[in-house]
Amino acid sequence: MRGRPAPILVGMTRLILATRNAGKITELHAILAAAGLPHELVGADAYPEIPDVKETGVTFAENALLKAHALAQATGLPAVADDSGLCVDVLNGAPGIFSARWSGTHGDDQANLDLLLAQLSDIADEHRAAHFACAAALALPDGTERVVEGRLLGTLRHTPAGQGGFGYDPILQPEGETRTCAELTADEKNAISHRGQAFRALVPVVRELVG
């Protein structure tokens, strides 16, 4: 179903970001503005008639594209979507796309964290390499698509540290850091985050395809 169109500011192209997370919208808007791209950016809440898209892909890129294409087709607007998670080397990239539901319940950060730490309890420090990965996709109503990716490399702590962030932030220590992601300030984390990297890599794609 096509969502109810909202007014578009004169001289601006509207982009829709497949999220209801205000923080993500603010982050991407700031990145686009810093690059001199005067686009109006709205979240999925601007089109409440459009249901959330099921993430049935087997990679971050596939899930991001599913969401971006669905919104582009439903709204007739350029759409951006992302998908991300934690990839642990010794687990062959898991939890990966299952990061948010690793324990079996979607969005239970503590249960996901506890299960992963239990699974890695006997793994020595030198084998605890991991990274946060993010794929960001831009899709146009005509089917044109592009995907970019960002990664935050690090190692996994044996015990959580820090009160910031969410998800697996309390156990991932970025390369070159002595603190976990949950111990970084919001600005410090945004400067190196996988999603920030992916969104910044999306800037030339937006400039090329949207203008």
Whole-angstrom distance, CA of residue 39 vs CA of residue 108: 35
- In three-state secondary structure terms, 137 is strand
Q: ∠ CA(155), CA(161), CA(166), 5° rounding?
A: 85
Measured in degrees and rounded to the nearest 5, phi and psi for residue 71 equal -70, -40
Catalytic residues: 83
Angle (deg, nearest 10), helices 194-209 and 22-34: 60
* CA neighbor of 99 nearest in space, from 169, 18, 4, 159: 169
